[in-house]
Amino acid sequence: MTDVPVQRIRNFSIIAHIDHGKSTLADRLLQETGTVESRDMKEQFLDSMDIERERGITIKLQAARMNYTAQDGEEYILNLIDTPGHVDFSYEVSRSLAACEGALLVVDASQGVEAQTLANVYLALENDLEVIPVLNKIDLPGAEPDRVAGEIEEVIGLDCTEAIQASAKAGIGIDAILESIVKDVPPPQDNVDKPLRALVFDSYYDAYRGVVVYFRVMDGTVKTGDKVRFMASGKEYVLDEVGVLAPNQVKVDALHAGEVGYLSASIKAVEDARVGDTITLATKPAKEPFPGYVEATPMVFCGLFPTDADQFPDLREALDKLRLNDAALQYEPETSSAMGFGFRCGFLGLLHMEIVQERLEREYNLDLITTAPSVVYRVTTIKDEVVLVDNPAHLPDVQHREKMEEPYVKMEVITPETYVGTLMELCQQRRGAFIDMKYLTPGRTTLVYEMPLAEVVTDFFDQMKSRSRGYASMEYQLIGYRVNNLVKLDVMINGDPVDPLATIVHRDKAYGVGRALAEKLKELIPRHQFKIPIQAAIGAKVIASEHIPALRKDVLAKCYGGDISRKKKLLQKQAKGKKRMKSIGTVDVPQAAFMAVLKIGSDS
């Protein structure tokens, strides 16, 4: 299976906006080349994680090798490297694109260019990839391939005279796509005589073999039994196995420059073989690693606390296990006066955060309270020290702060013209600074804003979707830190400060947010036997206060007489309702209350 001449290898990716048909097309290509038998075909072979499948999004990259006999009669090896479809994972996208020479740009012909199409296509062009436009879903009655081709030419500047019209679902245009990959994507460079350099574009943890690493050989050759070095982590291993992804793993003796494959070497955790790292031979190392390695830095943090304090060791164990497979996940123990023991966890973004939370609950059966997400603030103290603060509760007191900076993003929103007004209003409410507005094509507009990341992580996406009836799309990238007039908003429940409810807001918004938060908490916290005051404060100054009136009746009073079973049922029902509550002092606070601040961001 190896020793294919490099002229007959093609390495490519598929880039697309969510739902434009990337996975469906990948499946078709696998089927058409006979790589996967139709009867083996689970729907969407490449998206293998359950959560991904349920949400219909691609998170982890994978790869597949296809054999294809082209119209010129030659047999080619086509390596498809899949890319995750979400802004949180754009670094992984860039690394998998770096492993390719070409990309299929799939655009839904009934929709058109979206924010993610653009972001991905720019990444592909930065990596010098040959981009092949594919107008997908032409089977739909609403498809307008000519209009969309014009849009791609106009917006991206790609020649679309030969854009392929396709339907991944109905199997139209698939041969044309395969031929175009062979004809238009350049073969890899023949660098087999150079010292080994292989680029890691994905890795996952396997309980039996240790980490399995997916890589593209850029230069040289790698063989089973070789002693290799990961140039960024500095770790060295003897290879137990190398092989190709056909798409199941098939062992081979060696892989040469231009090829794509996997290796295993009893590596203990993915952080020792990170995406973007370069593999070389320990005995004859390359001088320089492949450029572009970056260590993933978490952008969003939250607290995770077990509802039941006894589950703390289980939570630690679960995080340790997840971490084996997720080098971007960070966590450290956190003690909160209100919540007890838990962990402060760092994530690449909101989706990454949700995935981890969901896996902890589903796969490890933990009952968790999650606090609202926070970004990382940069505080300069009066002693001129710089402190990074990922937890509002740990913000140095105002008298110790010289200045405070927050992360900013450049946000691009693509929307039908009708929603421009309401979306501009939303961006302005979120402290966005207007930068640009362009008409992509008649009727479709792109808005560019610079905005604090903190305003994006408080459900900007949902707001944008609901204001545009689902039609707008967005992308953002970090552009650095900026000084702002920020304050910490504390919350007291029944007189006790509740540190996980503390948040950092702009001074101009503090009163509005404080009032809305107090009202929202009043709504969310159930009544108790006693009256519960709720206050929001900046420093010692209370800026909003509410109270939850006491319950008047004993719930059991209704169950007169000795009807034990009914009483029991009622108590059980209450116990169920109590799940996902955290007792703070004598007050039971439900999970929703910890997220209350996310629900008020836009109306204050």
Ligand X SMILES: Nc1nc2c(ncn2[C@@H]2O[C@H](COP(=O)(O)OP(=O)(O)OP(=O)(O)O)[C@@H](O)[C@H]2O)c(=O)[nH]1
Catalog residues that contact ligand X under the rule CB under 6 A. 16, 18-24, 56-58, 85, 136-137, 139-140, 167-169
245 backbone dihedrals φ, ψ, rounded to 5°: -110, 100
- How many other β-carbons are positioned within 10 Å of the β-carbon of residue 283? 11
Cβ atoms of residues 440 and 154 within 8 Å: yes
The least CB distance from residue 394 to ligand X, in Å, is: 37
The least CB distance from residue 85 to ligand X, in Å, is: 3
Residue 34 to residues 29, 65, 211, 433, 531: CA-CA distances in angstroms? 8, 11, 29, 52, 69
- How many other β-carbons are positioned within 10 Å of the β-carbon of residue 553? 7
Cβ atoms of residues 406 and 374 within 8 Å: no
The least CB distance from residue 136 to ligand X, in Å, is: 5
Give 169 or 522: the residue with its C-beta nearer to ligand X. 169
Residue 32 to residues 27, 38, 186, 562: CA-CA distances in angstroms? 9, 9, 22, 71
Tokens of 476: 């953002």
Under DSSP, the state recorded for 168 is T
Give 31 or 494: the residue with its C-beta nearer to ligand X. 31
The least CB distance from residue 116 to ligand X, in Å, is: 8
The least CB distance from residue 243 to ligand X, in Å, is: 26
Give 82 or 499: the residue with its C-beta nearer to ligand X. 82
Torsion of CA 314, 320, 321, 325, to 10 degrees: 150
Q: Amino acid letter at 38?
A: S
CA angle 343, 299, 509 (to 5 degrees): 95
Residues with Cβ within 8 Å of residue 199, at least 6 apart in sequence: 95, 98, 99, 215, 216, 218, 276, 278, 279, 290
2 backbone dihedrals φ, ψ, rounded to 5°: -95, -160
The least CB distance from residue 28 to ligand X, in Å, is: 9
Give 82 or 326: the residue with its C-beta nearer to ligand X. 82
- C-alpha span between 73 and 199 (Å, rounded): 31
Give 8 or 169: the residue with its C-beta nearer to ligand X. 169
Structure-token match 């992984």, residue found = 92
Tokens of 570: 């009622």
Give 22 or 488: the residue with its C-beta nearer to ligand X. 22
Give 86 or 95: the residue with its C-beta nearer to ligand X. 86
- C-alpha span between 603 and 406 (Å, rounded): 22
Give 49 or 524: the residue with its C-beta nearer to ligand X. 49
Give 174 or 260: the residue with its C-beta nearer to ligand X. 174
Residue 222 to residues 252, 286, 432, 480: CA-CA distances in angstroms? 10, 13, 50, 40
For the chain, what is the radius of gyration of the CA atoms?
27
Give 16 or 544: the residue with its C-beta nearer to ligand X. 16
The least CB distance from residue 211 to ligand X, in Å, is: 25
The least CB distance from residue 24 to ligand X, in Å, is: 3
Cβ atoms of residues 408 and 453 within 8 Å: yes
12 SS3 class: strand
The least CB distance from residue 266 to ligand X, in Å, is: 32
The least CB distance from residue 29 to ligand X, in Å, is: 12
The least CB distance from residue 168 to ligand X, in Å, is: 4
Give 11 or 165: the residue with its C-beta nearer to ligand X. 165
